[in-house]
Amino acid sequence: MNDQDLKRLMAQNFLIYKKLVEIQDKVKGKTVFHADNLLVKEFNDEVDKIMRTLNV
């Protein structure tokens, strides 16, 4: 696996996260469109939390 593969995997994971957030908002009855930069920050924060947990 090379660096390009990892970048593609990260992009795929972010797209899945973005779609899940949109579905969650629809279920809650919201019609809010998220800015991608906010979602990227939230996604990175969640990844950091997971990485901290795995490193413990």
Query: What pLDDT sits at residue 16?
Result: 92
24: which 2 tokens?
């969650």
pTM, rounded to two decimals: 0.64
Residue whose structure tokens are 């939230």? 42
What is the rounded average pLDDT for all residues in the chain? Answer: 85
Six-digit token string for 18? 């973005």
